[in-house]
Amino acid sequence: MSNVGPHDPRDVTILGEPAASDRPADPGNEGKGEIHLVHMYPREMSIYGDLGNTRCLAARIRRHGYVPVVHQHHPGQPLPETIHLVVGGGGQDSGQVTVEQDLQRRADRLRALAAEGVPMLMICGMYQLFGRSFVTVEGKRVPGLGILDVTTQGNTTRMIGPVVLSTDFGDVVGYENHSGATVLGQGQDPFGRVRHGQGNNDSDGTEGAVTGHVIGSYLHGPILPANPRLADALIGWSAGLATGRDFEPEELDDEVAAQAHARQVARLLG
């Protein structure tokens, strides 16, 4: 039943994850079903703590009674045969250039997965690469996948600080740290509207982008532990794809996260 290859020595340790969580469950121990989660380029494109999103998703998948199978995708590897959820993080411009060729080789598969409704969360650098193009501050044009209709221009001035957004998932909090200024194409929905912070470009009041179940955002933090409702939306979509049934969530105790979220919103918005 496994379509998972041998352990890759390039895999990054995900704190809190069991050593065998990159393997399918033993027969009869799949719980409500297996959810195959792929983290794209954890070494090159997760330098701002975005690996915490993978940790959060795997932990919550397990707490909801499903079995996470966590794949780490590295340049030169094929993508796993089975994929229900994809995440990617931020990195330096050099990291984006490093993964560019591999990402283009996986482009058709990733576009097909997005069209099939596979949920994806792309943060910062990977958000930019899921757009139409990214132009580095030195003027090098890095083509994107075009899954999100956005274009990004690198700048010398960084946009840094805490953020509060209004989104379809309620208020979302996080921390932005990016020099790229992103512009949405005509008709492209933003992920959220900025209530505090700078967002895509510090001028139009938008943050991120969303198409179907694909979300791009500049919010680090990482974003998912601070916003459990968003995490469960991604898990719910992936659970439906994995099992063919509606998401069957458990009652989770998110009191600590809820208090932290509420205090952050109150502190920033007054």
Q: Which sequence positions are flagged as catalytic? A: 124, 220
Residue 237 Cα distances to 84, 139, 214, 250, angstroms: 9, 38, 11, 15
Q: Is 229 annotated in some ligand binding site?
A: no
Q: Provide DSSP, 18-39.
A: -TTTTSPPPTT--TT-EEEEEE
Backbone angles phi, psi at 122, to 5 degrees: -115, 120
Note if the bond before 222 is cis, omega within 30 degrees: yes
What whole-number distance in Å separates Cα of residue 164 and Cα of residue 183? 19
CB 211 within 8 A of CB 121: no
- Residue 261 neighbours by CB under 8 Å, 6+ apart: 171, 173, 226, 227
CB 54 within 8 A of CB 37: yes
Give the residue ranges of the annotated binding site for substrate. 158
Binding positions are: 158
